[in-house]
Structures are given as structure tokens and as C-alpha cells.
Amino acid sequence: MTAPADIQIIGDLTLTYIRATGAGLKVRKTKAMAAGSMDTSMNMLDIPYYQETTVLGCRFISTVARSGNVTWSRATGKIRALARDAYGRGLCLKQ
């Protein structure tokens, strides 16, 4: 979304989809997150706004710079741990 008017359009589309398919939107499991300086006073389908959320294991935070730092720090930490484990098993100082 790039404009506040998009919230209403997405809300209308979501309600149309729900009516057409019979699918339900689980608001308790749904999160909205405002990026940057987006106005959070507008309500869309009673979905609460969060400062941070996790999608497919990646953490997203409302500020883009911090979001990238957190995601990359976590990813590089996991890679380092895997590398330590792999080298630790194959390297033996006892000869």
C-alpha cells in the first residue's frame, strides 16, 4: 500500500472475496504493520497494527533499516553456528 485510500480498497476487496468464496478471515491470526511513517489511525477490518511481525521466519519491523539489520543478524548467526558445527566435527587436534 502506498496511500491511505488503499486501506479502504483492500478492505472492500477482502470483504468481496469473503462473500464470494465463503472463506473467513481469522482476525486473531492476522497482523497489520505500518512501514515508515504510515498513519495507523485508519482501521481495516478491525485488524490491529503491530510494530513488528514474523513472516516465514523473517522478522519485519516498522523501520526498514532496523528490519534489515535484525533479519541479517539472525541469518548470519545461524550460518555461523552451522559452520562451527561442521568444522568442529571434522577437525580433530589429537593425532
Q: How many CB atoms lie within 10 A of CB 62?
A: 18
Write down the domain spans for the chain. 5-90
Torsion, Cα 69 32 48 62, to 10 degrees, reads 30
E-strand stretches of the chain: 32-33, 49-50, 52-55, 58-61
| The predicted structure's pLDDT at residue 46 | 76
Q: What is the pLDDT of residues 20-63, one digit of tens each?
A: 998 877 777 777 777 767 777 777 677 778 888 877 777 777 77
Is residue 16's pLDDT more than 60?
yes
